[in-house]
Amino acid sequence: MIIMLNLFKPFYPLFFASLKGNPESAHNQALHILHNIQSQRDKTWGRWIIQQLENSFCVNYPHLSQSLWNFNFAHPLGLAPGFDKNAQGAGIWSSFGFSFAELGAVTYHSQEGNPKPRMFRLPADKALLNRMGANNQGAEAIALRLQETWQKQERTIPIGINLCKSKITELNDAKEDYLKSFQVLKAHADYFVINVSSPNTPGLRSLQGGEQLEPILDTLQSHNQGEKPILVKIAPDLENEQIRSIIKVSQQYQLSGLIATNTTIKKEGLQTKILNETGKPITEEAGGISGLPLRQRSTEVIRFIYRETEGKLPIIGVGGIFDTESAWEKITAGATLLQFYSGWVYQGPWIVPDILQGLSRKLEENNLDNLSQAVGIGVNN
């Protein structure tokens, strides 16, 4: 199978193009297959498939490893949330070479999400448009699935959970909603992310303001007592003063880091002018854009946070990572870890070993012994 996987690599773009008719359906089918493989890992065939995945996508570069929050990250590349909303593949992401994976977004109440179609590919822009609406089975169901998963196997990589406010919960009650999810899921993951930046839950982004964010963080940290790393994920569409406010609150409540950035609601300048599935101008479509169009802005936000905090607040960089150059760009701007989703979908799972090989080469070119030495080196140069 390892030979088959590598032979398949040149044909991946054609395979990807063949799935454009219903991206959400293809996505769900893939997760269903991965869940079946994971759940049958104790069987000979399941164990064999996982071994072949690991032979194809897992590589070892010791100088790319870093320690953060008392966890070892073998390298900086992780799976971004949105791909595995219901933790169906929680135990298999390490076999695709990821050094960590973030699940969700998870809400306390299960929710169907927005009307379909709600996931669109914009191949001319190497982007995705999604207005999923945080569809997931709810914190209780996902906690049960994770409990079952970790009973069968130990966690081999750090697992994060992205928490979002339930749509039916009023904004004024957001702190209780986040807390309930955190309490239910706390034992089943290694770190948690407070998502107040998705454009697909009505009013959610208003919670990024300092006065709205403080009660959420105060409630969570009072319960957490420093046990789990808690981070906040921010939008790319904020002004510098708004980001400064979030940084201040993050430091006040001793957050473990910031994630920059979520999807953007700005749709100007795209190659895609009309969304074929609806026939409407892309600028009139609801939802957030991820992928290559986000590359520059997310890097700018990372650099701004790094400067403002003097590199003292860890940053997970996400947005437009498609190759070694875009990954290195974010690391040298101040990101300690990286996540991707669109790049993995467009380029296929080979992107992980390809980027890691490239990052190893970058360290050698810059006479650096460890990746941690590269974090932020481009900010003041």
Q: Which long-range contacts (CB under 8 A, 24 or more apart) does 273-278 make?
A: 275/120, 275/129, 277/117, 277/120, 278/117
Q: Evaluate whether 149 touches 91 at the Cβ level (below 8 Å).
A: yes
Helices (H), the chain: 2-8, 12-18, 23-39, 44-57, 139-152, 174-185, 210-224, 240-252, 295-309, 324-333, 342-347, 351-365
**95 counts as catalytic:** no
Rounded to whole angstroms, the Cα distance separating 254 from 314 reads: 12
Catalytic choice (56, 94, 166, 198): 198
Q: How far is CA 315 from CA 184, 201, 246, 261, 370, in A?
A: 26, 24, 13, 10, 17
Rounded to whole angstroms, the Cα distance separating 210 from 332 reads: 28
Sign for the pseudo-dihedral over CA of 141, 102, 126, 97: negative
Rounded to whole angstroms, the Cα distance separating 302 from 282 reads: 27
Sign for the pseudo-dihedral over CA of 252, 254, 257, 259: negative
Q: Give the CA-trace dihedral at 47, 50, 54, 56, to 10 degrees.
A: 120
Based on the number of CB atoms within 10 Å of its own CB, is 321 exposed (0-12), middle (13-18) or buried (19 or more)? buried
Beta bridge partners of 118: none
Rounded to whole angstroms, the Cα distance separating 278 from 268 reads: 18
Residues identified as active-site: 198
